[in-house]
Amino acid sequence: MYDPHLDTFLIVANTGSFSGAAEYLYITPSAVIQQINALEANLKVPLFYRSNKGVTLTKQGVYLKSECTDYIKKGKAIQEHLRSMPDWELSMVLGTSMWEKCRVFYDFWVQFSQGREQYSVQMKTIDTRFPIPAEVDCIESLTPNGSWHSSWAYYELCLVPYGLAMAKDHPLYEKPTLCYDDLCNYTVIIQRPEESWKNLDHVKEDLNKNHILMQERRGFDSDVVWDASIKRHLIVMPLCLQDVIFDMRIAPMDWEHSVSYGFFYRPEPAGLPRMFLDFVKSYHKNHPEITMRLTEAKI
């Protein structure tokens, strides 16, 4: 963490004397010496050679001077961020992205926050391909066993059925529910953002058993959408992701394949995150209908 003695060290290094630094800082030379002694004791290395003519940097002092300017800036930035963060007892941070949306979070929050106006929630944009910021307390998401999930606890809200996404001009677009016979003349795309999406293996097995043409792709990109739109391919997707695709529909399929959906949270949460999650677990047991829209197809 940032050590304010580093500021004094830089001033001494630049002025070449304790007295010059004292004059600059409007303190006594002895106060400057005490700060430098404390810094050297903490680092366990000498930083200056002392003489009657002033001070010069040791080898360790030269290295510290070259590195500590950026270190000081970073340390001060961390301190400012810590001070600007709201009281952990009164606030929580929800991580969101195009996939990890607040689909039912606010339904729970509205109920939880009644009579608790002092509590607040902040949104933080995340990208699960990279480390999730430490201040994020909770994420609403599907759980296909992604690589980032291992360090989080999880509470399941419901199982979301897999359906098949298709373009508006697809011949099957108006069909309420699809069956395997409907798929005989089409190619079904299974997309795997990560190899750990094991639950899609069962989908693949059933498609093979029913002799459905199939392709496997990594990730959901423009090529997948292009094939679905131009070549009339179908894409296996959870029904709840209807809100991330445009000009397409995810039709329900007559099968039993689904994926878990819920809240990821830091292990052993404290403060408001723990209060909110305890409420979610209790309220959800008596109001399972709160997640019904996640499991229903939209036209």
At 31, the pLDDT band (50, 70, 90 cuts) reads: confident
pLDDT at residue number 220? 66
Cite the residue boundaries of each domain of the chain with CATH code 1.10.10.10.
5-84
d(CA 216, CA 212): 13
pLDDT at residue number 1? 56
**CB contact set of 294 (below 8 Å; sequence gap of 6+):** 103, 104, 157, 158, 160, 239, 240, 261
Q: Two tokens at 250?
A: 């995810």
Range with lowest mean pLDDT among 86-100, 101-115, 135-149, 160-174: 86-100
Cite the residue boundaries of each domain of the chain with CATH code 3.40.190.10.
86-299
Which strand (E) or helix (H) includes residue 290? none
pTM over 0.75? The answer is: no
CA dihedral 271, 145, 102, 132 (to 10 degrees): 60
Residue 91 scores a pLDDT above 60:
yes
Residue 86 scores a pLDDT above 70:
no
pLDDT at residue number 145? 66
Q: Out of 3.40.640.10, 3.40.1170.60, 1.10.10.10, 2.60.120.200, which CATH number does the structure's domain 5-84 have?
A: 1.10.10.10
Measured CA distances, 180 to 57, 207, 215, 241 (Å): 78, 8, 16, 22
CATH of domain 86-299: 3.40.190.10
pLDDT at residue number 187? 95
What is the arithmetic mean of pLDDT over 13-37? Answer: 89
Please give the residue that has the higher pLDDT: either 163 or 226.
163
> 235 burial class (0-12, 13-18, 19+ CB within 10 angstroms)?
buried
At 271, the pLDDT band (50, 70, 90 cuts) reads: confident
Which strand (E) or helix (H) includes residue 270? none
Which strand (E) or helix (H) includes residue 20? helix 18-25
d(CA 119, CA 108): 14
pLDDT at residue number 196? 53
Most trustworthy range by pLDDT among 13-27, 63-77, 175-189, 208-222: 175-189
What is the arithmetic mean of pLDDT over 228-248? Answer: 89
Share of the chain above pLDDT 90, in %: 56
Neighbours of 102 (CB within 10 A): 14
